[in-house]
Structure 1
């Protein structure tokens, strides 16, 4: 059981991302003790993050080093691991040892997008990103090579300012048609979609038409090793969490409302402190 720091989520999605301090351990638990600072992803069906105490499993709980604050850590489990999974799905080697790739990241100032930009740059990728005008400088500071205002004609068409075709598109936005993606992809380019419930159907249709370009639905299957890897990157100063705002638990409803508005920059955090 831990006393958590909490990121807000939509009201119909259980809050599963927490960071805090271990206050009690169950029988047979090894590797943790009362007083340990940790970050954890709770069970999806159980949730329980918006509370003074939360029950976590050892499989998806890792120790948080002092270099990483609770607020930073609370944003990692779902958004950070989704970004990690997307870049891994794209075959990007995060130690920079692989070949360079041209990558587009949509909604790059959002929760998943801002982590994806940083991870892609660790993987030696050329990153084009989309976001709102007010966040262009922020996304550039995260490492993006080219940034498009999504409300401009260039941003709507997703065209690279330098004329590049994308090997991969990490799609973190909504409302973009496949035809828009297809025009921007390289011959064997892939769209890795974390947003659309129809992505699986589109993926099947593209395979049936024998297109070399494809859409790849992303299914998150987090592992403790992945979470530990992400926390280590934070410890080494290679990643950071952009925090939009912090709300006390008593104002969690306001945090939800802001999250639902869809224009948060980075993560919204709910805290007990």
Structure 2
């Protein structure tokens, strides 16, 4: 652990990347030092972060209009907001009643915050009872561990909690993954294959071999194929998992695409196609067609369809650790950038939409 100066008796100065007003994150980010209150509650701890992974949602939160940030999210004007949710690090200090962790423990997890309590900071204060915080598996580096939580928990929520997939011998179950080479998609391919399911992935030409390596039995190249006809050829599916957004397959969710009335179309993005706009269940607010589609699904008048967010439960976190320890899931790192001065470049890389795996920030550089 590194030694850090304190700004006062009860405050630790933490270098961080922050923004004060809403806007394009590559333009508004700046590096500064923020105070971390070292007066801990009984079950609180401070973590020294060693690596953090970036996600498109960081960019989308930055793009939320200022009035929404001020009056609905209550982020406050001129308050430093720290982006990023995935992290891996070392326990630096613990409260008097903390029992799950001790100083020096290697931990990782997900701290998703709409109000700017993110992980692009040398230190972060959390509760030991955060359900998405846990011990880092010894077989992963900090870089690898930081790349996992949001993607894994999103995929497990989709395939298991919503789709009903189990790690069993039901090998006749089939999943179609749209956006199979991305940060979430490449984990989805691995997880579905680890669960002994038949995986059909959709990606561009340059990522075909990568998606096959991630576990896809079949790969559809969207640059040269009509997605509807090509997907129909390999269907029908128990789960269609959409990691990119749009409505291309929505009109065709019949027996050619969904195997039965228990089969389901799950999107983690929604109908939107802009990378810079909030997706997930927030899409329901601005897209009445999605609301109508889900309501029809709920009352049995249409195919099962839901736009989902990840489930932040201790049970899902334990599943994550188990599968990582067994080597069933392995993060792929697209690129690693230095915390000291290359965070903006990292977000520029993420915003290209051509990332294969995850973009990670290394705090030791």
Same fold, TM exceeding 0.5? yes
1:2 corresponds, among 40, 44, 47, to: 47
SS in 2 for 1:120: helix
2:180 corresponds, among 104, 108, 112, to: 108
TM-score with structure 1 setting the length: 0.91
SS in 1 for 2:144: helix
2:311 counterpart residue number: 221
**Residue deviations 1:226-273, cap 9 Å, x none?**
223212211211110011100111211111122122221111101111
Unmatched tracts of structure 2, length 5 or more: 1-45, 62-82, 271-282
1:194 counterpart residue number: 268
Report the CA distance between 1:207 and its aligned residue: 4.9
2:59 counterpart residue number: 11
Unmatched tracts of structure 1, length 5 or more: none
Distance 1:239 1:18, change over 3 A: same
In 2, distance between residues paired with 1:225 and 1:31?
16
Quick check: 1:52 aligned with 2:116?
no
Higher Rg of the two aligned structures: 2
- The structure carrying a bigger helix percent of its residues is 1
1:165 counterpart residue number: 236
Quick check: 1:92 aligned with 2:165?
yes
Q: For this pair of structures, how many residues does the alignment match?
A: 270
In 2, distance between residues paired with 1:17 and 1:140?
26
TM-score with structure 2 setting the length: 0.69
Report the CA distance between 1:145 and its aligned residue: 0.5
Task: State the superposition RMSD in angstroms.
Answer: 2.0
**Residue pair 2:170, 2:197 contacting (<8 A) in 1 also:** no
In 2, distance between residues paired with 1:31 and 1:209?
44
In 1, distance between residues paired with 2:337 and 2:216?
29
In 2, distance between residues paired with 1:80 and 1:155?
26
Quick check: 1:27 aligned with 2:96?
yes
Distance 1:206 1:231, change over 3 A: closer
**Residue deviations 1:131-156, cap 9 Å, x none?**
11111111111111100112222435
2:336 corresponds, among 222, 241, 246, to: 246
In 2, distance between residues paired with 1:122 and 1:204?
32
Distance 1:202 1:260, change over 3 A: farther
In 2, distance between residues paired with 1:111 and 1:245?
12
